[in-house]
Structure formats: structure tokens, C-alpha cells
Amino acid sequence: MSVNALNIKFIPMLPTSVGTLQQPSLVIGLLIVGLCWLSRVYRPVDTSRPPLLRHWIPWLGPAFEVGKDPDGFFTSTSKRLGPIFRVELLGQERIFVTSPSMISTVYRDSQSYDFNEIRLDIGEQVFSISATFGRQPYMVDHFMPAMHRMILPSNLKPIITAYIDNAYDCIRSSAAELHGSSVPLMSLIIPPAYHAAAHAAFGPGFPVGDSFPFFRTFDHSFHLLAANLPRWLLSEPLDAWEKLVDVVESYIDHMAEDDAEEAGALVRLTLQGREAAEWTNREVASLLSSLLWALQANAVFAAYWLFALQLQQSEGLAPLIAEVDNARRLWQDTHPSTSLGREFFKFLGSSSSNALPLVTSAIRETLRYTSQSYSIRRVMKPVQLGGYDLRVGEEVVCATRQAHIDDEIHPNAAAFDIRRYLEAPKPIKDGRLVANHSMAFGGGVSMCAGRHFAMAELKMFVAVMLTYATVEADPSSSSRPEIQWERKQGIMQPKGDLKVIVRKRQL
């Protein structure tokens, strides 16, 4: 067979794309793409800078891995590159910090690592609250400090009392309604938890039921909004957000002067901004909606997981029920003329956290186990971290969960153990005490402002639920919830659910 004959037969058998290689513009195009890829994957190493994660699919690869298995990604990358490294995520380079000691350095140095501009960016990107509004002197000097003060432990009593009143009604009516039935655990926990907190903070007249579906749709896509994806991809959550603000605005529009007195503390505080800084009702409503999100987005799922995870342990809820029952009996012995009701829970809510040590430990364990909190900071001046140079304008992300899943810090970290926090952990790592071993609420200047309320409301929720309902895993259903890791901040949401049999308790 002649060479010519070979050529003739060979060329038509090649894929058409190879045939087109003869077009010079395509060859040049492919060459440029190839060179770009090579230059990204094999960038020269600058040892003064935090090591850069090189992924064979630049831009998208790390984002995909973080979304799929964040624990695996951060553990293996920390092992390979150390506790500080750079990653290019969806076109934006960020510096991740995974060791508690380095995270603590970032938290302590708020001059070099700023949060304020990040807070304004999130306000604009996620909650459609303009940075101009966020920078107003009234907002910075009055509203924010007053809001933080309002939820300090010493000032919590009115909001906790309101929470107990609402949780008491919502949980008892939910237990009565579901008595004897097998239901998804979500339907037992989420609606009463959401109702009780919304009424406590926004007042008894707040249209909780109208707000809930819009909150859920918005919350479901929160991570996509935070990732700053193009707006046209996010029409559903953005539309839900506008509708949530509409609900809150209509509540304020129709609030008479006298009602404002009745409205929850957070509402009264934002209404002061209307008087003092001429905020419009829309601005007040947007601000309140962002607070409604912060109030609900994590706490209701923490309540869910505590029940879901403990029901999957062989001992079930029994030790927690025993503790709450014991506290009730002690209270009844010392208050023989008061019938069991709200007063008991107000007593529990007012005493020190020692009142229900196992329940408190179970809440802390739930937060450790199911949270994934990232604190973001912007570098304000050239600074060194872990021996590497950081540049002005770079973003540092504290990946707090790595401390939660480290066996040296939390022995047998993969196990859910409600007794883990009965004694204050004092873990030692690399010869040093790890004070920030549990960071579900973040830390430093951006640490969750609502953490004291969150701990108190969760304790009350568990105590009321265990007093008035029995909750058992339905043996006829094998479905179990999984942690949905795609949601990247705070308490994770469940994928799937657990079926439970609910009964009103006969006390």
C-alpha cells in the first residue's frame, strides 16, 4: 500500500475536530487556552506568600470540591499546604486559615484585618441594603451598638420571657395537633421554633405565617447570594427577599402608635431610626428582615439537629428527658402552690446555665457537630501571618470548623456526644491550650451578636418540648437526614428527614 493511499484512507477516519486543526485561528486559540491553563496550574512558587492550591481545573475545581465535601477539602489541603493557603474560588483568590491559633491572631487584630467593609458588602450583595445606608452615622454610632447591647446577657430577660410565652403556646398546640401521628421531624420542630422567636423579637402581631415561605426560599439560596453569582441566576431568592421585606413593611405601615409599644424590642429599636435619622419604612423593613434572617437561619436548624442526632443514638432522648423532669420535680417541690406552666420555664431561663447542664452540653455539641462558620476579613495593611506576607485588599477566611473535627482538640470528633461539654474542654494542641476550640458563632469583632439569646432560646425550646411531648423515631421508617454541606455558613440544613411519632405527655 502506498503512502498516498494510506493518507487518503486515514484522514477521513479522524474525528472532524482534528481535521479543523488545519484552521490556523483555531490552533492559535487552543494554544492560548492551553498556555493559560499551564500558567495557572504551574505558576512559579513565591515562598513569601501563602502556598497556592493548584488544581488541575483552575477556578471551578476547588469550588466544586469545597461544595461537595468541605471537611475533606480543608483537612487534606491543610495537610498538604499547612494551616494557611490561597485558593482561587470562582475567579476570586482567597486566603484560608484553618488552625485555631492563627484564627485567633486574625480575630484579635481588627486593625490589620477589617470586617466592616465585608459587613457592608454582604448587606448590599445578600440583603439589598445599600452601603450608603449602612455607613450612616446613626447606623454606626447608635443603631448597631444599641442592637448589640439589647442582646447582651444582662438585657436578655424581656426577649427570653416573650420567647418562653410563645414557645409554650406553639409547642403545646403542635404536640396536641400531632398527637399519635408519625410526622417528619422538620414539621414538629421548625414551625414552632420559627414562630416563637419571630413573635418574641417582632411582637405578637407580626404576621409570622406570611413571612415563613419567603424566609425559607431566600434562606435556601443564601449561599448562592453570598457567592455573588450573577443576579439573573438568582431571581427566585431575590424575589422572595423582596416579598419578605413587603410583609415586614406592611406590618410597620399598619402599626398604630400604641401597637409600637407592644411590638418586639428589635422593632422598637429600628423605629427609633425612622424618627431620629428619617429612615423610610422600606429601609426599616429591609433592616428588620435582615435581622429576622439572622434570628432564624441557624437557631431553628440547631433545634432540629439536636433532636435528629440524639434520636439516632441508642439512648435516644431519655437522658435529656430525665434531666428536665428532675428540674421540674425540684421546682414543683419548692413551688407547691404554683401549677406547672410558663413560670417553671421562666425559672429555668432566669437561673444560671447550670440549671440544665446536660441540655446545655447537648446544644453546644449540636453546634460543634453541625456548624460550618467562616469569618471573613479584609487585609488593611501589609501584615505577616504564619510567616507569609499578606497584601492590602486580600480577603482572609477563617475556616473555624477544622477545630471542630480535629481529634486532638475534640477526642473522637466524628461521634455525636451530648456529654462532651459537661466539663469545659481544655484541649492542648502543639503544646498549647486551644481556647477557641468551638467556634460555631464565629469570633472577634464579627462574632454572632445573638449567641446568648440563641443558647437561651434553644435551652427553653428543648425544655418545653421534652416536658409536653414524647418524640420517638418511627421504627417503620428508615429514612434519615444528612447534613447538606452546600450551605456554607452557620448551621447546616438537612437533606432528607427522620420520621417521628409524637404524643402529648401525660404529666
End-to-end CA distance of the chain: give it in Å, rounded. Answer: 97
Q: What's the CA gap between 138 and 273, in Å, rounded?
A: 8
Q: Could you give the CA distance from residue 377 to residue 359 in angstroms, rounded to a whole number? A: 34
Q: Does 340 bind ligand HEM (CB under 6 A)?
A: no
Closest of 94, 87, 97 to residue 53, by C-alpha:
87
CB of 42 to ligand HEM, least distance (A): 35
Question: Near ligand HEM by CB under 6 A, which window of 162-170, 293-301, 353-361, 471-479?
Answer: 293-301
Site membership for ligand HEM, residue 298 (CB under 6 A): yes
Amino acid at 158: P
Q: Look up residue 247 and give its three cell numbers.
A: 410583609
Which CB, 166 or 331, lies closer to ligand HEM? 166
CA distance 288 to 272: 13
100 lies in the binding site for ligand HEM (CB under 6 A) = no
Q: Select 156 or 240, whichever has its Cβ closest to ligand HEM.
A: 156
Has 448 been labeled as part of a binding site? yes
Segment (H or E) for 383: strand 383-385
User: Rounded to the nearest whole angstrom, what is the least distance from the CB of residue 294 to ligand HEM in the complex?
Assistant: 4
Q: Which amino acid is at 398?
A: C
| Binding residue (CB under 6 A) for ligand HEM from 295, 362, 379, 500 | 295
All three cell numbers of 62:
476547588
For residue 310 the three cell numbers come to 440524639
Residue linked to cell 501589609? 382
Among the listed ranges 49-57, 232-240, 275-283, 291-299, the one in contact with ligand HEM (CB under 6 A) is: 291-299
Q: Which of residues 224 and 447 has its CB atom nearest to ligand HEM in the complex?
A: 447
Per-residue contact flags (x/-) with ligand HEM for residues 352 to 381, judged by CB under 6 A: ---------------x---x-x-x------
Decide if residue 77 touches ligand HEM (CB under 6 A). Answer: no
Would you list the DSSP string of 13-57? HS-HHHHGGGSHHHHHHHHHHHHHHHHHHTPPP-TTSPPBPP-SS
Q: How far is the CB of 492 from ligand HEM (least distance, A)?
A: 10
- Is 440 a binding residue for ligand HEM by CB under 6 A? The answer is yes
Alpha carbon distance 288, 292 (integer Å): 6
Classify burial at 334, counting beta carbons within 10 Å of its beta carbon; exposed 0-12, middle 13-18, buried 19 or more: exposed
Q: Lay out the site mask for ligand HEM across 451-470 (x = CB under 6 A, - = otherwise).
A: --xx----------------
Binding pattern for the stretch 111-150 against ligand HEM, x by CB under 6 A and - elsewhere: --------x-------------------------------
Binding site for ligand HEM (CB under 6 A): 119, 151, 294-295, 298-299, 302, 367, 371, 373, 375, 440-443, 446-450, 453-454, 490-491
Known binding-site residue numbers for heme: 448
Residues at the binding site are 448
